[in-house]
Homo-oligomer: A and B are copies of this chain.
């Protein structure tokens, strides 16, 4: 990976001057083009060894282009708000919106590489992290982000020379830390880890560009030229209405059996029994939610279901067992303007709870493979890839220690009809029934197929779907409450009293 970069690249002053003037103007032009076009963001990752000119390059890009439309994010130590959420959260919250340029100084690759060099994680864990990065970057590309990854390289002797120079000059001495000397000693180890890392995370849509760092002029031109070419290429592209559909069709069920039809939707539960069970499980949930061990966990519950299946009512039976200070409800409707300028999952990432808290989603990211699929709001390629993206998203939560519980509330077509009619009659429920509900009802079969595919493709051992027979509201609410309560209790059981999750990565 570093063979070409180890050569002694040089650019003379005259050539640099000529080229730089041209590049500068062209980059500014491209930046304004991006702003006008507004269809995609540019995300520039700046990575590589110390002393190879990373900060000089970031400063230069800010100088050459209009810094008002660039946002540079440096990822130092995470804040407590960041530490209490899945590790990717801090990157999601800084993603540039469409039409803008984001520069990430250090990103999701930094910690895995350091952890591997320092022996904090095994080869297997490192491989898992690489897989996660590949899928995350793939998702960004699929969502239209122009992802450009620059790796600044120095040979070992170049790095030693550079650090010595910095340390000798009183103006730059402050930049050299003990860590730099330590990392220099580990140079070979770094190469051994980084070389395969770069190859594995160099993909067709987002390859690493290795930048030889020793000669400032050569380095600058390398980055500027590539950045310009990449932006121009995307800007000059004719916008496709939709990606060409290369997805093989999903199999239609060959008989009439599916996971929804297999449910016995009418489950008995008397009002008296309901009252008793409600008290019991709300009490247990209340106790579990106050357990000291929950302070190192968090919980996310997803409520999906047919219109009028009783999602809202079920959520309220859960939340009324909790202290209102520690939960948030997110009711998912059309995305806002700021949300539309970001990758699809952004609007869910922003609501993830801190440790010790609960978030309840009334409808969720599964809209992608339900309503968006059925109504054709996104292309087949988009909702097909969403299954993987969703599994990764939930995987990130689970690894962080978030309990993920997912409910599908199922009512029969006849029961739904009865509820629609009833809602139209009651004044304070009239807001709950709209023309859209009646329209959705006409697409019952298409939704059924979508739900079955969703359950098959996103039920994982740690975050399975719970299908709730909901013709009887009492039964549905108790099943939801019981399932949720047990999930929390199980998670508490996995936390040792010392507060360290069993099997999880040790906290540093």
Contact of A338 among B316, B324, B337 (CB under 8 A): B337
Report yes or no: A324 in contact with B103, Cβ–Cβ below 8 A: yes
Report yes or no: B68 in contact with A331, Cβ–Cβ below 8 A: yes
Q: List 21 A-B contacts (CB under 8 A).
A: A55-B325, A59-B324, A62-B316, A62-B319, A62-B320, A62-B324, A63-B319, A67-B315, A68-B315, A68-B330, A68-B362, A70-B329, A71-B329, A72-B328, A74-B324, A74-B325, A79-B80, A79-B81, A80-B80, A80-B81, A338-B338
A234 close to chain B: CB less than 8 A: no
Report yes or no: A427 in contact with B338, Cβ–Cβ below 8 A: no
A105 close to chain B: CB less than 8 A: yes
List A406-462 residues whose CB lies under 8 Å from chain B: 427-428, 431
A25 close to chain B: CB less than 8 A: yes
Q: Chain copies in the assembly?
A: 2
User: Which residues on the B side are within 8 Å of A330 (C-beta)?
Assistant: 68
In which size bucket is the chain A interface? 35 or more
A28 close to chain B: CB less than 8 A: yes
List A316-340 residues whose CB lies under 8 Å from chain B: 316, 319-320, 323-331, 336-338
A284 close to chain B: CB less than 8 A: no
- A58-B324, A79-B81, A325-B74 are known contacts. Are A316 and B67 too (CB-CB below 8 A)? yes
Q: A172: shortest Cβ distance to chain B, in Å? A: 11
Contact of A319 among B29, B67, B362, B427 (CB under 8 A): B67
Report yes or no: B320 in contact with A59, Cβ–Cβ below 8 A: yes
8 smallest beta-carbon distances between A and B, as pairs: A74-B325, A68-B331, A337-B337, A32-B431, A72-B324, A58-B324, A29-B428, A68-B329
User: Which residues on the B side are within 8 Å of A68 (C-beta)?
Assistant: 312, 315, 329-331, 362
Report yes or no: A312 in contact with B66, Cβ–Cβ below 8 A: yes
User: Which residues on the B side are within 8 Å of A323 (C-beta)?
Assistant: 55, 59
B-contact 0/1 string along A336-376, CB 8 Å cutoff: 11100000000000000000000000100000000000000
